[in-house]
Structure 1
Amino acid sequence: MSEKNVVLNPAKKNRRKIIRSIVQAIIVIFLAIILIRVVFLTEKRVEETVPLENKDGFIALSYFGVSRGESPKYVSKENLKKQLALLESQGYQTITQQDILDFYQKDKPLPEKALFLSFEDGRTDSSIFAQNIMEDLNYKATIFTYANKMDTRDNKFLKPKDLLLMEKSGYWELGSNGYRLTYINIFNNKGQSLGVIDENNVPNKTTIEYYNHYLMDFIRNQYMIPSETRQEMEKRIQKDYKLMQDIYEEELGEVPKAYAIMHSNSLYNNMDSLVERANNKEIKDKFKMHFNLELGAYNDADANLYNLSRLQVSPYWSTNHLMMKIRQASKQNVEFEVGDPKRAKEWSVMNGAAEYENNAITITSAPASEGRVILKETLPEQYNINFAFKGNVVGQQSIYLNYDEKNDSYIRVALIDNEIVVSEKTPESSVVEKGRFPLNEIKWNEEEYAFNKATVYNYQDTQKGSRIDKEEYPRNLTKTREFNIAVNKDKIMIDVDKVLSKTIQVNPDIQGSQIGFGAMFSTKETSHEQYADDIYDTFIEDILITDSNDRTLFTNQYTNFDKVKHKTMTFINSVVDFFIETF
């Protein structure tokens, strides 16, 4: 067996390595330039001149973060764009921190529809995904940060050099959420004290029953008795603000003007008076304004600069949900997103708001009432309807069958808090429940969802066990339920997810010939939720109504081509999201 002689040429090999390294360096530099241009703002914002005649007040909106796609924790880039674009189209102009100071201290008017926009927690994704949107709308926002996140290696949070570059662009101002996000006086659902834990180190959040934030109380022992003296508490709180101040002054040159404490709604509201006094002194010494509340979107001319309110926008809200919230808080005239005007003409909106887009209808209720839409087309006595409800589990999503608007009669099949509830209403009578059928339990990821449990509590409270029923779900949990309903003259047959099948007899006095859909918040009382939302969205997809001969009477489903296109884009986006989140 002969061997082939291989002549090694180290010089040639080294040249190839050098060339490859140079090419790689050029590619890296090129990508870095693109990233800097996209993310870190080479264009400067141009201030617009607008009439200043508003002496009434302004709305304030806050987002915790922005994700590339759908997320239970952060608003998607697409939804953020829709929401802000609709606000801009209706004349909302962003205002600065100085505008707010001048409004309260110098009686200087604001734009007619003044908007203070902010993003909390200092997340990198907020900068990446919000930047282009803000440039397109010429909007300006405040980015609130935790001081101790700025000197970590965690790339999820913006660093000082990034923040200074953002501020220089004119699209951003800087604000503070304080020094840290740390919990104290933690108790689990077994009544066991867990002490003080940083947010990143909290164990299974679903077992945490009571907690408070680091600045909101004395540190207490397992019996909820203070384990520090008043002087020690004051020294601890002063130290936290001093640590924050030192980092901001060293890294940014100054402490931001605006502050948003964690957690909201606690200061000046039933917290320990000594702790409140210690915080109040530090806040007024170091900041010019304080967004302490998140109870509503509107701040009127009589609001306190150190007790301002902002609306924290939930990721699962539709665009119209946000607009409904703004109308509720400010009494301003707002217009709702309609979507496809051709689709909209097929339906009548009886209450609330509705958006029609592709294969989906989004119904948003008005506060504490039901949103309802009715299909204008009349239907025969016998038909079949298929559709999917995709709203939050905690809430009421309804379909109205044999609907008669004139006589106010119908059969209602409602999905309420993961139960099917069938009711009927005959002319000139009240609603009568015909049957209630629980659906299979929904499994959910404890890392993705959290209950809102921060509250005022004592030792006796901590020993009562979980405040949450085992069948209770977090309000941001969604679940798709597929319905197939066969309507006949004397009965309806209901199938849900091919698991639940029920036949319900139809009262002959109910003789309507239309169908409709409804959305309403859940009236379930929960002790751990202090401020449950009374506005609700339901999402109805892939409606198909056929007659007894299987002929299509109505549909908003995708065509085969559109379905393939939609699935392809969904797959591509999921792959991109995977690589972004993983690498």
Structure 2
Amino acid sequence: MKLLSTNKDKKKLIRSIIQAIILLAVVIVMVRVLFVFNKYKPYDSMDTSVMADVDNGFISLSYFAVDRDGSATMISTDRLREHLNALYKNGYVTITQKDIENYYKNGTPLPKKSLFLMFEDGRRDTAIFSGKILEEYNYIATILSYADKFGAKDSKFLSPKDLSNLKSNTFWELGTNGYRLSYINAYDRYGHYIGELNSLEYSSLRKYLDRNYNQYLMDFIRDENKIPKETYDEMKERISKDYKLMDEIYTKEFGKVPDVYVLMHSNTGNFANNEKVSAINEEWMKKLFVMNFNREGFSLNNQDNHIYDLTRMQPQPYWYPNHLLMRIANDTLADVTFEEGDPERKKDWEILAGAPEFRNSVIALTSESKSNGLIRLKDSKAYQDVNLSVNLTGNKLGTQTIYLRADEELNQYVSVKIQNNNIYINENGVQLFELDLNELDGIKYQSVEENEREAHRAEYETYSQSTKKLLGYTTNMEKQIEPVKEEVKTVEEGADKYIPSIQINEPGNRQLTIKIQDNQLSVFVDQKKVTQNLSLSGTTSGYIYLESAWSEYGYSQRNIADDVYDGVFQDLLITDAKGNILYDNQLQGWAQIKDKVETSWNKIINWFIKTL
């Protein structure tokens, strides 16, 4: 072997060894993250510590999809693990489809805390990223699919072979969302009739639709005047065709249709928005399926429910674990143990309402249902002139408040509140200042007329693209006429602003700085002046409080209702007028280095998983 004779050769060797070690570490981590080696072990029905003395029913949770990093609609693996860990620590065990069938048909007892877990839409990333987490907690779940996706050869969705492999690894059962995901009787927000939309067309136009549309199996197909375009027999044949196709495809691929059906969409009262349509759905679901989840928003099922009218809750990607636990506690009226986080950070605060979790530099304060979460900084009663900075990363729709110079009853205080993307300053219940933060951001609004023109242009282009059959499908959209090119009024020309509704899942991220000295208050948001030297009526000292509060159900195109809110206070720093630190929740020293290393390492792993 030739000796390494130069420093350059030695450096190359060392670099190669380091690269090999890093690559090996990545491979080991990927195997541990993605591959399942164990088998699901059902609960022991003879174990009295698991089984219930009285009937508690079961809760059902349904996640839309799972992604390594997460998104507005897809929960991250870290957050999913946090959710399931919180449930596991609260004693929840998963039950199977057969358990539910026996519970309703034979009165077979269930565990004290029973969880039926589902993942919707049959996405490949869901199976890849959640399987290992199910294994960690010995949880079994049902993965739902659309039958029409089996022939589409879309890599985003699991194939029949993939689903069969999942079922064989014992942590999964199969269910269905139906034959297709498509929409009828669609109008844009301006009342313009669009007609029918497949899932791709819907995705391209959803920003213009609001909620004025329906799912394919929910109603007669109607014209622009909302008069049925089909007879009763035609409606019956159309809806029956979807069920026949489901029966044919699932039987061909798996030998039978799944036992679990989740009718799209939920909360219609019966099994559709129209009584006659509902009767057809009911007839077919009872013929093909063992059970149906027909409602969403409430997690608890018991003997008061019918097996074809079950309910599920859809946890959202932005929910902290305590948000999930708070919702379950409200539904079941059972005691839960909330996540507290770091006990060293917790000990600085008095918990007056809600459920805070102290994690690194974050205080995630979950409100109570239709109410608030409130914590008070201990030993802050004498605080008078202070500087405070914090990042508020709770969603835009909701309330995050800082109280200063507050008494124990919150009768006297100065507060700075960000609510629904507006900032408010109050003193002792009197509002001193208000500002829409969109104005601070310098957002330039479209006029209503401009947005309507944009919507009609998008509808025409979607229709035109679909009719060219370039994407392998034909359209059932109503024919869209190319809009006439004409000038419309802008906001500057006096037209009304088009102000989009804040979505319930719209993230917020505001850096808030407060300076209070003597009888003056200055506030900055994202380093921009909100108000400076605002006059106050008093100079008393008092406590620091943090508050999160639910403000309204808000708007969700997916019709998600939620009455709990997570206020998120990150990197909270409080100093006195001379700059002396009174409270500091920022990461320091080794903890900060460790956090940065872990973040960088996770980015590397995520890149490898998504790239390979």
So what's the TM-score if we normalise by structure 1? 0.85
Q: CA deviation at 1:390?
A: 0.5
Aligned pairs for 1:82-161 (under 5 A) are 82-161=82-161
> Distance in 2 between the 1:39 and 1:248 partners?
27
Q: CA deviation at 1:522?
A: 2.1
Q: CA deviation at 1:107?
A: 1.0
Q: Report what 1:481 is aligned to.
A: 510
Q: Report what 1:242 is aligned to.
A: 244
Check if 1:389 corresponds to 2:384. Answer: no
Aligned to 2:85, the other structure's residue is in SS state helix
Check if 1:217 corresponds to 2:226. Answer: no
**RMSD value over aligned CA atoms?**
2.5
Aligned pairs for 1:163-562 (under 5 A) are 163-202=163-202, 203-209=204-210, 210-266=212-268, 268=270, 271-378=273-380, 379-406=382-409, 408-425=411-428, 431-440=429-438, 470-502=499-531, 503-508=533-538, 511-523=540-552, 532-562=561-591
Q: CA 1:531/1:487 → structure 2, altered by over 3 Å: closer, same or farther?
A: same
> Distance in 2 between the 1:471 and 1:200 partners?
23
> Distance in 2 between the 1:290 and 1:414 partners?
43
Aligned to 1:250, the other structure's residue is in SS state helix
> Distance in 1 between the 2:64 and 2:554 partners?
26
**Paired residues of 2:426 and 2:432 also in contact (CA < 8 A):** yes
Code of the aligned partner of 1:540: F
Code of the aligned partner of 1:371: G
**Paired residues of 1:410 and 1:512 also in contact (CA < 8 A):** no
Q: CA 1:35/1:483 → structure 2, altered by over 3 Å: closer, same or farther?
A: closer
Q: CA 1:267/1:345 → structure 2, altered by over 3 Å: closer, same or farther?
A: same
Note the residue ranges of structure 1 that are not aligned, 5 or more in a row. 1-26, 426-430, 445-467
**Paired residues of 1:422 and 1:433 also in contact (CA < 8 A):** yes
Aligned to 1:204, the other structure's residue is in SS state helix
Q: CA deviation at 1:130?
A: 1.3
Q: CA 1:95/1:341 → structure 2, altered by over 3 Å: closer, same or farther?
A: same
Code of the aligned partner of 1:402: R
Q: CA deviation at 1:43?
A: 2.9
Q: CA 1:505/1:532 → structure 2, altered by over 3 Å: closer, same or farther?
A: farther
> Distance in 1 between the 2:83 and 2:33 partners?
21
Q: Report what 2:43 is aligned to.
A: 48
Code of the aligned partner of 2:406: Y
> Distance in 1 between the 2:208 and 2:347 partners?
48
> Distance in 1 between the 2:216 and 2:260 partners?
19
> Distance in 2 between the 1:422 and 1:288 partners?
56
**Paired residues of 1:59 and 1:298 also in contact (CA < 8 A):** yes
> Distance in 1 between the 2:137 and 2:226 partners?
50
> Distance in 2 between the 1:516 and 1:529 partners?
34
Q: CA deviation at 1:514?
A: 1.4
> Distance in 1 between the 2:162 and 2:558 partners?
36
Per-residue Cα deviation, 1:17-66 (whole angstroms, up to 9, x for no partner): xxxxxxxxxx9xxx9x9989965644322223143334231111110111
**Paired residues of 1:40 and 1:166 also in contact (CA < 8 A):** no
Q: CA 1:433/1:162 → structure 2, altered by over 3 Å: closer, same or farther?
A: same
Q: CA 1:270/1:182 → structure 2, altered by over 3 Å: closer, same or farther?
A: closer
Aligned to 2:438, the other structure's residue is in SS state coil
So what's the TM-score if we normalise by structure 2? 0.81
Report the more deviating stretch, 484-493 or 331-340.
484-493
> Distance in 1 between the 2:243 and 2:272 partners?
22
**Paired residues of 1:392 and 1:477 also in contact (CA < 8 A):** yes
Q: CA 1:332/1:257 → structure 2, altered by over 3 Å: closer, same or farther?
A: same
Code of the aligned partner of 1:313: P
Code of the aligned partner of 1:88: Y
Aligned to 1:60, the other structure's residue is in SS state strand
**Paired residues of 2:65 and 2:125 also in contact (CA < 8 A):** yes
Q: CA deviation at 1:549?
A: 2.0
**Paired residues of 2:374 and 2:548 also in contact (CA < 8 A):** yes
Q: CA deviation at 1:375?
A: 0.7
Q: CA deviation at 1:512?
A: 4.2
**Paired residues of 2:187 and 2:193 also in contact (CA < 8 A):** yes
